[in-house]
A and B are shown apart, each in its own frame.
Chain A
Amino acid sequence: MPFPHRIIAAGALVLAAAVPALANPFERVRPVTHEPTRKECGECHMAFQPGLLPAASWNRIMDNLNDHFGESAALAPDVAADIRAYLTGNAAVRGDGGLARITEQPWWVREHRLRPEAWTRPGVVSKVNCEACHRTAPQGLYEDD
């Protein structure tokens, strides 16, 4: 009976096409379009796109700017509120809101199982230095791996 086979084959094809597209929604995120976010966050590290973290994670970050992963990143209250609104308003719908670090998000960890030498290459310095390997990271494009 050829009929079910054909359906199965067609189904498999559809799945094969769909799986890569669903693989990682974080490989392509909207670039930062908010000037204060670009300026203030971008002073010390790449201004990460709001779509890389869920709103709860952004709120954790903005609640703790006085101790931003061990350093003060304090901002004037009005500037901080403006940036928080942009980040949470354009946040990812997925991700673990209990984790503030992008580099601790399960999808990030899954995508970065690299040899230890990859992290000690000159110019990398840190896992937050996306651009060291993803040249188009500032545009929100991380598909180049």
Chain B
Amino acid sequence: MIPHALRRILLPTVALLAVGAGVAYAAGEGAARSAILDGYAAQAKAEAPSFAGFSADRGRALYLGPHAGGKGDANACAACHTPNPAATGRHAKTGRAIEPMAVSANPRRFTDRAEVEKRFDRDCPNVLGRACTAAEKGDFITYLAGQ
């Protein structure tokens, strides 16, 4: 048995530590996402000197489509990820479930640079029929980070 007095100190300490760890974890994810966005911003400036920051509205338009020219069956990101990015998606051809795109529903989204690049490398040709610009990638992440 833990003495009552000790328990009074122990419990709040453990609770505080748990909350602290949660905040630190979320902050780590936020920092990783910011670093990815910073990278795209630098790249966007290099691609177009007129670049003046990312836009969640443009990201939303990119997400919802519809687009022409894709080599896959999907004409919008929303075709698989659903128009509500907080919902679980479904691969149009295979039926496989896809974890939500919205950061509020899936905090691990856009925290692994290699993974993010892999998906853009594949899905931009699949949906748009071309590679995405750095500005488009940043717009897309900015939109979904706010969802």
Contact = CB atoms under 8 A, between A and B. Distances in A.
A119 to B, nearest CB: 11
Interface string B75-95: 000000000000000111111
Interface of B: 71-73, 90-96, 114, 118, 121-123, 125-126
A23 interface: no
Nearest to B95: A125
A128 B121 contact: no
Contact of A129 (B72, B96, B121): B96
B73 A124 contact: no
Contacts of A45: 91, 94, 96
Nearest to A72: B122
B72 A71 contact: yes
A61 B80 CA distance: 23
Interface in A37-54: 43-46
B34 to A, nearest CB: 24
- Contact-size category for A: 20 to 34
B120 to A, nearest CB: 11
A75 interface: yes
Nearest to A79: B118
A67 B125 CA distance: 11
Given A70-B71, A71-B71, A76-B118, A44 B125 contact: no
- Looking at B91, B121, B125, B126, the one whose CB has the most chain A CB atoms below 10 A away is B91
Contacts of A69: 93
A74 B93 CA distance: 17
18 contacts: A43-B96, A44-B91, A45-B94, A46-B96, A69-B93, A71-B71, A71-B93, A71-B122, A72-B71, A72-B122, A72-B125, A74-B122, A76-B114, A125-B90, A125-B92, A126-B93, A128-B93, A128-B95
Nearest to B122: A72
Contacts of B92: 125
A129 B90 CA distance: 12
Closest CB pairs A-B (n = 4): A125-B95, A45-B94, A129-B95, A72-B122
